[in-house]
Amino acid sequence: MLLKNILFEIETPEQFDPPRVSTNILNRILNEPDPRKQIMLANNSLQLLGTGSGRFVYDIGEGKAVKLAPLEPEQNKREAEHWECVKDTAARKVFVEVIETAPDYKWLIAEKVVGFRTDKEPLQLIVNSILETLNNPEEITAAEIGDYFCYSLEGFWSRISSDEIPTFDSSWYNDLKATIQNCDIVVEEFLADNLGYRPSTGELVILDFGY
């Protein structure tokens, strides 16, 4: 599902940042046995992209991010297992690629993608494109459009997790639904904040499927 085709109709050039940390420093962070010291080293050396339930996510450059979970590695483990299940399916591009994991899953390296929660420009482009099609744009606000977009996404995940037959026929939808069901992924956790896009291609992606 190409976000650029659906929403923007523009090309998104593939650009990767250079490494943000030397191999030696990164290895020191990944191999630090003390959880508190590990996070301190990461905060001092890497750009923090976000935090979640027991995980800290950092940009390490070259289109990659590291997810540290020194105290609660279960989420990393589930994400790695889910990726192993989805990587050979037709819907693999909808999921963030897992590149490498620690044997105990206390860290995980994945491709870096951009989330709607941190990048408001895609949502603003959506809002603007909708406003331009309205006959009476003054009758609806940008905030209302944004709310509608988020509710629509949440409704989509509800439909894809149920046995409801959609009113449309989409190979993308069918492939994603089959993959989610076969890989036992809990889609109830997919909210609008868990969606984003892949900068190299403009594809819509699920940011966090470690549930």
DSSP letters along 163-188, please? Answer: SPPPSS--HHHHHHHHHHHHTT--GG
Q: By the 8 A CB rule, do 108 and 98 touch?
A: yes
The reported pLDDT for the residue numbered 185 is: 83
- pLDDT number for residue 8: 40
- What pLDDT score was predicted for residue 51? 85
Residue located via tokens 């037709």: 90
Domain limits, CATH 3.30.200.20, in the chain: 9-112
How far apart are the C-alpha atoms of 151 and 64, rounded to whole Å?
Answer: 30
Q: How far apart are CA 47 and CA 61, in angstroms?
A: 10
Give 10-residue mean pLDDT values along the chain (211 residues).
39 56 93 96 93 88 93 93 94 92 97 76 63 65 64 65 65 83 76 74 75 56
pLDDT of residue 3: 40
Sign of the C-alpha dihedral, residues 150, 152, 158, 160? negative
Confidence at residue 4, expressed as pLDDT on a 0 to 100 scale: 38
d(CA 107, CA 95): 18
The matching CATH number, chosen from 1.10.10.350, 3.30.200.20, 3.40.50.10490, 3.10.20.440, for 9-112 is 3.30.200.20
